[in-house]
Structure 1
Amino acid sequence: MSSPDLYGLRERFEKDNILLCFNGPISRSLIEEIGNALKNYLKSEQLSPASALDVFAAYIELTQNIRHYATSSQLPGADTATVIVSHYDGCYSVAAGNIVRASDGRKLVERIESFANMDKAELKTAYKTQLRQPRDADAVTGAGLGLIDMARKSSKPMETTLKEIGNDTAYFSLSIKI
Protein backbone atom coordinates (compact mmCIF):
# COMPACT_ATOMS: atom_id res chain seq x y z
CA MET A 1 0.00 0.00 0.00
CA SER A 2 1.42 3.35 -0.99
CA SER A 3 1.39 6.43 1.22
CA PRO A 4 -1.51 8.81 0.62
CA ASP A 5 -0.80 12.06 -1.20
CA LEU A 6 -1.32 14.35 1.78
CA TYR A 7 -0.18 17.43 -0.07
CA GLY A 8 -2.67 16.69 -2.85
CA LEU A 9 -5.37 16.23 -0.25
CA ARG A 10 -4.38 19.50 1.42
CA GLU A 11 -4.57 21.29 -1.94
CA ARG A 12 -8.03 19.84 -2.54
CA PHE A 13 -9.17 21.00 0.91
CA GLU A 14 -7.87 24.50 0.22
CA LYS A 15 -9.44 24.59 -3.26
CA ASP A 16 -12.83 23.56 -1.84
CA ASN A 17 -12.44 25.69 1.33
CA ILE A 18 -12.85 22.63 3.55
CA LEU A 19 -12.37 23.55 7.20
CA LEU A 20 -13.09 20.16 8.72
CA CYS A 21 -13.31 16.68 7.24
CA PHE A 22 -13.85 13.34 8.94
CA ASN A 23 -14.35 9.88 7.48
CA GLY A 24 -14.74 6.85 9.70
CA PRO A 25 -16.86 5.19 12.38
CA ILE A 26 -18.73 7.83 14.36
CA SER A 27 -19.27 7.54 18.10
CA ARG A 28 -20.81 9.77 20.74
CA SER A 29 -17.41 10.78 22.11
CA LEU A 30 -16.05 11.47 18.63
CA ILE A 31 -19.07 13.65 17.79
CA GLU A 32 -18.31 15.64 20.93
CA GLU A 33 -14.57 16.00 20.24
CA ILE A 34 -15.04 17.08 16.62
CA GLY A 35 -17.84 19.39 17.77
CA ASN A 36 -15.48 21.06 20.24
CA ALA A 37 -12.88 21.56 17.50
CA LEU A 38 -15.57 23.05 15.24
CA LYS A 39 -16.77 25.41 18.00
CA ASN A 40 -13.22 26.59 18.63
CA TYR A 41 -12.66 27.20 14.94
CA LEU A 42 -15.91 29.15 14.55
CA LYS A 43 -15.04 31.20 17.62
CA SER A 44 -11.62 32.05 16.17
CA GLU A 45 -13.28 33.17 12.94
CA GLN A 46 -15.35 35.66 14.96
CA LEU A 47 -18.55 34.40 13.39
CA SER A 48 -21.68 35.88 14.92
CA PRO A 49 -22.84 33.77 17.88
CA ALA A 50 -26.17 32.99 16.15
CA SER A 51 -24.48 31.80 12.93
CA ALA A 52 -21.86 29.80 14.86
CA LEU A 53 -24.64 28.12 16.82
CA ASP A 54 -26.53 27.27 13.60
CA VAL A 55 -23.41 25.71 12.02
CA PHE A 56 -22.67 23.75 15.19
CA ALA A 57 -26.31 22.64 15.53
CA ALA A 58 -26.34 21.39 11.92
CA TYR A 59 -23.16 19.40 12.56
CA ILE A 60 -24.62 17.87 15.73
CA GLU A 61 -27.96 17.05 14.08
CA LEU A 62 -26.36 15.37 11.06
CA THR A 63 -23.85 13.31 13.03
CA GLN A 64 -26.35 12.27 15.70
CA ASN A 65 -28.83 11.23 12.99
CA ILE A 66 -26.15 8.98 11.50
CA ARG A 67 -25.31 7.50 14.89
CA HIS A 68 -28.98 6.88 15.75
CA TYR A 69 -29.63 5.31 12.34
CA ALA A 70 -26.61 3.03 12.65
CA THR A 71 -27.74 1.88 16.09
CA SER A 72 -31.39 1.32 15.18
CA SER A 73 -30.83 -0.22 11.73
CA GLN A 74 -27.91 -2.49 12.68
CA LEU A 75 -26.87 -2.10 9.04
CA PRO A 76 -23.18 -2.97 8.58
CA GLY A 77 -21.21 0.16 7.66
CA ALA A 78 -23.99 2.59 8.58
CA ASP A 79 -21.85 3.94 11.44
CA THR A 80 -19.11 5.03 9.04
CA ALA A 81 -19.74 8.69 8.35
CA THR A 82 -18.20 11.27 6.10
CA VAL A 83 -18.58 14.79 7.50
CA ILE A 84 -17.35 17.98 5.84
CA VAL A 85 -17.64 21.60 6.95
CA SER A 86 -16.62 24.17 4.36
CA HIS A 87 -16.90 27.91 3.79
CA TYR A 88 -17.39 29.79 0.52
CA ASP A 89 -19.31 32.78 -0.80
CA GLY A 90 -19.95 33.94 2.77
CA CYS A 91 -21.80 30.73 3.54
CA TYR A 92 -20.91 27.71 5.67
CA SER A 93 -21.81 24.28 4.37
CA VAL A 94 -22.23 21.30 6.68
CA ALA A 95 -22.50 17.98 4.85
CA ALA A 96 -22.63 14.41 6.07
CA GLY A 97 -23.26 11.02 4.56
CA ASN A 98 -23.43 7.33 5.37
CA ILE A 99 -24.68 3.98 4.10
CA VAL A 100 -28.43 3.39 4.50
CA ARG A 101 -31.00 0.87 3.37
CA ALA A 102 -32.07 2.09 -0.06
CA SER A 103 -35.75 2.16 0.95
CA ASP A 104 -34.94 4.28 4.03
CA GLY A 105 -32.85 6.61 1.90
CA ARG A 106 -35.62 7.11 -0.66
CA LYS A 107 -38.10 8.04 2.09
CA LEU A 108 -35.62 10.47 3.59
CA VAL A 109 -34.85 12.12 0.24
CA GLU A 110 -38.58 12.51 -0.40
CA ARG A 111 -39.09 14.12 3.01
CA ILE A 112 -36.15 16.51 2.58
CA GLU A 113 -37.23 17.45 -0.94
CA SER A 114 -40.69 18.32 0.41
CA PHE A 115 -39.01 20.89 2.67
CA ALA A 116 -37.29 22.45 -0.37
CA ASN A 117 -40.71 23.35 -1.74
CA MET A 118 -41.73 25.17 1.44
CA ASP A 119 -41.17 28.82 2.24
CA LYS A 120 -40.12 30.00 5.71
CA ALA A 121 -43.73 30.36 6.91
CA GLU A 122 -44.63 26.84 5.75
CA LEU A 123 -41.52 25.43 7.43
CA LYS A 124 -42.51 27.18 10.66
CA THR A 125 -46.01 25.67 10.43
CA ALA A 126 -44.54 22.20 9.73
CA TYR A 127 -42.26 22.58 12.75
CA LYS A 128 -45.15 23.58 15.03
CA THR A 129 -47.30 20.74 13.68
CA GLN A 130 -44.54 18.21 14.34
CA LEU A 131 -43.97 19.69 17.79
CA ARG A 132 -47.60 19.00 18.69
CA GLN A 133 -47.51 15.37 17.51
CA PRO A 134 -47.63 12.78 20.28
CA ARG A 135 -44.21 11.26 20.79
CA ASP A 136 -43.81 7.50 20.55
CA ALA A 137 -42.86 6.27 24.03
CA ASP A 138 -40.60 3.61 22.48
CA ALA A 139 -38.74 6.06 20.24
CA VAL A 140 -34.98 6.10 20.75
CA THR A 141 -34.51 9.42 18.98
CA GLY A 142 -36.08 12.85 19.29
CA ALA A 143 -39.46 14.16 18.28
CA GLY A 144 -38.62 14.37 14.55
CA LEU A 145 -37.97 18.10 14.62
CA GLY A 146 -34.31 18.12 13.63
CA LEU A 147 -34.67 17.99 9.85
CA ILE A 148 -37.39 20.62 9.86
CA ASP A 149 -35.30 22.83 12.11
CA MET A 150 -32.30 22.47 9.80
CA ALA A 151 -34.47 23.35 6.80
CA ARG A 152 -35.61 26.46 8.66
CA LYS A 153 -32.03 27.52 9.47
CA SER A 154 -30.63 26.74 6.04
CA SER A 155 -30.05 29.80 3.85
CA LYS A 156 -30.77 27.68 0.75
CA PRO A 157 -32.81 24.50 0.31
CA MET A 158 -31.04 21.50 1.77
CA GLU A 159 -29.35 19.32 -0.85
CA THR A 160 -29.51 15.56 -0.71
CA THR A 161 -28.20 12.71 -2.83
CA LEU A 162 -28.78 9.00 -2.76
CA LYS A 163 -26.39 6.74 -4.64
CA GLU A 164 -27.39 3.10 -4.95
CA ILE A 165 -24.41 0.87 -4.05
CA GLY A 166 -25.92 -2.63 -4.22
CA ASN A 167 -27.47 -5.21 -1.89
CA ASP A 168 -30.45 -2.89 -1.25
CA THR A 169 -28.12 -0.26 0.22
CA ALA A 170 -27.32 3.28 -0.84
CA TYR A 171 -25.06 6.13 0.20
CA PHE A 172 -27.15 9.00 1.55
CA SER A 173 -25.75 12.52 1.88
CA LEU A 174 -27.24 15.78 3.07
CA SER A 175 -25.81 19.28 2.85
CA ILE A 176 -27.00 22.39 4.67
CA LYS A 177 -25.96 25.97 3.86
CA ILE A 178 -25.82 28.52 6.68
Structure 2
Amino acid sequence: MNPIDLFSLRERFNQTNIMLCFNGPMSRSLIEEIGNALKNYLTADQAHPAAATDVFGTYIELTQNIRHYTHAKAWSEQDAGATVVISREADGRYVVCAGNLIEQQDGEAVCALVDQLAGLDKAALKALYKEQLRKPRPDASSGAGLGLIHVARTATAPLQATLHPLPDGRAFFSLRAVI
Protein backbone atom coordinates (compact mmCIF):
# COMPACT_ATOMS: atom_id res chain seq x y z
CA MET A 1 0.00 0.00 0.00
CA ASN A 2 1.27 3.45 -0.89
CA PRO A 3 1.67 5.90 1.95
CA ILE A 4 -0.95 8.64 2.12
CA ASP A 5 0.35 12.02 1.04
CA LEU A 6 -1.40 14.17 3.62
CA PHE A 7 0.08 17.38 2.25
CA SER A 8 -1.41 16.72 -1.21
CA LEU A 9 -4.71 15.75 0.36
CA ARG A 10 -4.70 18.96 2.43
CA GLU A 11 -3.89 21.04 -0.64
CA ARG A 12 -6.73 19.42 -2.56
CA PHE A 13 -9.13 20.11 0.33
CA ASN A 14 -8.01 23.74 0.45
CA GLN A 15 -8.31 24.18 -3.33
CA THR A 16 -11.86 22.84 -3.31
CA ASN A 17 -12.83 24.68 -0.10
CA ILE A 18 -13.68 21.50 1.78
CA MET A 19 -14.61 22.44 5.32
CA LEU A 20 -15.35 18.98 6.60
CA CYS A 21 -14.76 15.48 5.32
CA PHE A 22 -15.53 12.13 6.92
CA ASN A 23 -15.31 8.55 5.71
CA GLY A 24 -16.27 5.63 7.90
CA PRO A 25 -19.02 4.11 10.03
CA MET A 26 -21.67 6.60 11.25
CA SER A 27 -22.92 6.18 14.81
CA ARG A 28 -25.51 8.43 16.40
CA SER A 29 -22.87 10.02 18.64
CA LEU A 30 -20.50 10.56 15.72
CA ILE A 31 -23.24 12.26 13.70
CA GLU A 32 -23.76 14.57 16.68
CA GLU A 33 -20.06 15.31 17.15
CA ILE A 34 -19.48 16.04 13.47
CA GLY A 35 -22.61 18.20 13.57
CA ASN A 36 -21.11 20.21 16.43
CA ALA A 37 -17.88 20.65 14.47
CA LEU A 38 -19.90 21.72 11.44
CA LYS A 39 -21.73 24.35 13.49
CA ASN A 40 -18.37 25.68 14.67
CA TYR A 41 -17.00 25.81 11.12
CA LEU A 42 -20.07 27.64 9.89
CA THR A 43 -19.80 30.14 12.74
CA ALA A 44 -16.10 30.71 12.01
CA ASP A 45 -16.96 31.08 8.32
CA GLN A 46 -19.53 33.72 9.30
CA ALA A 47 -22.28 31.87 7.47
CA HIS A 48 -25.63 33.61 7.36
CA PRO A 49 -27.76 32.08 10.15
CA ALA A 50 -30.39 30.77 7.71
CA ALA A 51 -27.72 29.17 5.53
CA ALA A 52 -26.02 27.65 8.58
CA THR A 53 -29.34 26.15 9.71
CA ASP A 54 -30.01 24.75 6.23
CA VAL A 55 -26.52 23.27 5.87
CA PHE A 56 -26.72 21.69 9.32
CA GLY A 57 -30.23 20.35 8.68
CA THR A 58 -29.18 18.87 5.35
CA TYR A 59 -26.14 17.22 6.94
CA ILE A 60 -28.33 15.71 9.68
CA GLU A 61 -30.99 14.49 7.24
CA LEU A 62 -28.50 12.81 4.90
CA THR A 63 -26.38 11.17 7.60
CA GLN A 64 -29.39 9.93 9.56
CA ASN A 65 -30.86 8.45 6.36
CA ILE A 66 -27.59 6.62 5.78
CA ARG A 67 -27.46 5.37 9.35
CA HIS A 68 -31.08 4.17 9.30
CA TYR A 69 -30.66 2.45 5.93
CA THR A 70 -27.48 0.58 6.80
CA HIS A 71 -28.81 -0.31 10.26
CA ALA A 72 -31.98 -1.76 8.70
CA LYS A 73 -29.78 -3.87 6.40
CA ALA A 74 -27.73 -5.07 9.41
CA TRP A 75 -24.55 -4.56 7.43
CA SER A 76 -21.09 -4.85 8.89
CA GLU A 77 -19.40 -1.72 10.20
CA GLN A 78 -17.26 -1.62 7.06
CA ASP A 79 -20.26 -1.79 4.73
CA ALA A 80 -22.29 0.61 6.87
CA GLY A 81 -19.80 3.41 6.40
CA ALA A 82 -20.55 6.75 4.85
CA THR A 83 -18.60 9.42 3.05
CA VAL A 84 -19.58 12.99 3.85
CA VAL A 85 -18.02 16.14 2.39
CA ILE A 86 -19.10 19.70 3.08
CA SER A 87 -17.51 22.50 1.12
CA ARG A 88 -18.03 26.13 0.22
CA GLU A 89 -18.21 27.34 -3.35
CA ALA A 90 -16.61 30.57 -4.53
CA ASP A 91 -20.05 32.23 -4.71
CA GLY A 92 -20.59 31.56 -0.99
CA ARG A 93 -22.99 28.64 -1.35
CA TYR A 94 -22.35 25.47 0.62
CA VAL A 95 -22.31 21.97 -0.84
CA VAL A 96 -23.29 18.97 1.25
CA CYS A 97 -22.42 15.61 -0.29
CA ALA A 98 -23.08 12.25 1.31
CA GLY A 99 -22.72 8.73 0.02
CA ASN A 100 -22.96 5.12 1.10
CA LEU A 101 -23.35 1.58 -0.11
CA ILE A 102 -26.90 0.73 -1.10
CA GLU A 103 -28.71 -2.17 -2.73
CA GLN A 104 -28.67 -1.49 -6.50
CA GLN A 105 -32.47 -1.61 -6.76
CA ASP A 106 -32.90 0.76 -3.81
CA GLY A 107 -30.34 3.12 -5.32
CA GLU A 108 -32.17 3.19 -8.63
CA ALA A 109 -35.41 4.08 -6.84
CA VAL A 110 -33.79 6.90 -4.86
CA CYS A 111 -32.07 8.25 -7.99
CA ALA A 112 -35.43 8.27 -9.77
CA LEU A 113 -36.96 10.19 -6.85
CA VAL A 114 -34.08 12.69 -6.87
CA ASP A 115 -34.51 13.17 -10.62
CA GLN A 116 -38.23 13.75 -10.09
CA LEU A 117 -37.56 16.30 -7.34
CA ALA A 118 -34.89 18.04 -9.45
CA GLY A 119 -37.52 18.70 -12.12
CA LEU A 120 -39.86 20.52 -9.73
CA ASP A 121 -39.87 24.23 -8.97
CA LYS A 122 -40.16 25.62 -5.41
CA ALA A 123 -43.96 25.83 -5.53
CA ALA A 124 -44.29 22.22 -6.71
CA LEU A 125 -41.82 21.04 -4.05
CA LYS A 126 -43.85 22.84 -1.38
CA ALA A 127 -47.07 21.24 -2.63
CA LEU A 128 -45.45 17.79 -2.70
CA TYR A 129 -44.11 18.30 0.83
CA LYS A 130 -47.57 19.23 2.11
CA GLU A 131 -49.08 16.25 0.29
CA GLN A 132 -46.54 13.90 1.91
CA LEU A 133 -47.29 15.40 5.34
CA ARG A 134 -50.95 14.44 4.95
CA LYS A 135 -50.25 10.85 3.91
CA PRO A 136 -50.25 8.15 6.58
CA ARG A 137 -46.74 6.90 7.32
CA PRO A 138 -46.86 3.30 8.51
CA ASP A 139 -43.06 3.15 8.79
CA ALA A 140 -41.67 6.56 9.71
CA SER A 141 -38.10 5.37 9.20
CA SER A 142 -38.61 4.20 5.61
CA GLY A 143 -36.26 6.94 4.37
CA ALA A 144 -36.00 8.89 1.11
CA GLY A 145 -39.36 10.59 1.57
CA LEU A 146 -40.35 13.69 3.47
CA GLY A 147 -36.79 14.49 4.56
CA LEU A 148 -35.47 14.27 1.02
CA ILE A 149 -38.24 16.57 -0.19
CA HIS A 150 -37.28 19.00 2.59
CA VAL A 151 -33.64 18.91 1.45
CA ALA A 152 -34.77 19.59 -2.14
CA ARG A 153 -36.84 22.56 -0.91
CA THR A 154 -33.88 23.93 1.06
CA ALA A 155 -31.39 23.54 -1.77
CA THR A 156 -30.61 26.48 -4.06
CA ALA A 157 -30.00 24.17 -7.02
CA PRO A 158 -31.56 20.84 -8.05
CA LEU A 159 -30.30 17.85 -6.08
CA GLN A 160 -27.91 15.56 -7.93
CA ALA A 161 -27.57 11.84 -7.33
CA THR A 162 -25.16 9.30 -8.75
CA LEU A 163 -25.06 5.55 -8.51
CA HIS A 164 -21.90 3.53 -9.12
CA PRO A 165 -22.79 -0.19 -9.51
CA LEU A 166 -20.62 -2.76 -7.78
CA PRO A 167 -20.21 -6.43 -8.72
CA ASP A 168 -22.04 -7.72 -5.60
CA GLY A 169 -25.49 -6.30 -6.48
CA ARG A 170 -24.95 -3.19 -4.47
CA ALA A 171 -23.88 0.27 -5.56
CA PHE A 172 -22.36 3.40 -4.09
CA PHE A 173 -25.03 6.08 -3.94
CA SER A 174 -24.11 9.72 -3.53
CA LEU A 175 -26.25 12.81 -3.19
CA ARG A 176 -25.19 16.44 -3.70
CA ALA A 177 -27.17 19.34 -2.26
CA VAL A 178 -26.20 22.99 -2.81
CA ILE A 179 -27.34 25.32 -0.03
Give the TM-score, by structure 1 length: 0.94
Unaligned segments of structure 2, at least 5 residues = none
Runs of 4 or more off by more than 4 Å in structure 1? none
> What do the CA deviations read for 1:61-103 (whole angstroms, capped 9, x no partner)?
0100000000112244442100000001221000000000000
Alignment of 1:12 with 2:44, yes or no, is no
Shift of residue 142 of structure 1?
6.8
Q: Letter of the aligned partner of 2:51 in structure 1?
A: S
Asked if structure 2 preserves the Cα contact closer than 8 Å seen for 1:85 and 1:94, the reply is yes
Asked if structure 2 preserves the Cα contact closer than 8 Å seen for 1:115 and 1:123, the reply is yes
Aligned partner of residue 157 in structure 2, secondary structure: coil
Aligned partner of residue 166 in structure 2, secondary structure: strand
> What do the CA deviations read for 1:84-139 (whole angstroms, capped 9, x no partner)?
00001221000000000000000000001000110000000000000000121x54
Asked if structure 2 preserves the Cα contact closer than 8 Å seen for 1:130 and 1:143, the reply is no
Asked if structure 2 preserves the Cα contact closer than 8 Å seen for 1:135 and 1:143, the reply is no
Shift of residue 143 of structure 1?
9.3
Aligned to 1:120: 122
Asked if structure 1 preserves the Cα contact closer than 8 Å seen for 2:69 and 2:143, the reply is no
Question: In the alignment, which of 84, 108, 111 is matched to residue 109 of structure 1?
Answer: 111
Cα distance in 2 between the residues matched to 1:64 and 1:26: 9
Aligned to 1:41: 41
Percent identity over paired residues: 54
Shift of residue 166 of structure 1?
1.2
Aligned length: 177
Give the TM-score, by structure 2 length: 0.94
Shift of residue 174 of structure 1?
0.1
Aligned to 1:58: 58
Asked if structure 1 preserves the Cα contact closer than 8 Å seen for 2:17 and 2:88, the reply is yes
Unaligned segments of structure 1, at least 5 residues = none
Cα distance in 1 between the residues matched to 2:59 and 2:47: 16
Alignment of 1:67 with 2:91, yes or no, is no
Asked if structure 1 preserves the Cα contact closer than 8 Å seen for 2:22 and 2:85, the reply is yes
* RMSD between aligned residues: 1.5
Aligned partner of residue 118 in structure 1, secondary structure: coil
Cα distance in 1 between the residues matched to 2:104 and 2:142: 21
Alignment of 1:80 with 2:81, yes or no, is yes
Shift of residue 47 of structure 1?
1.2
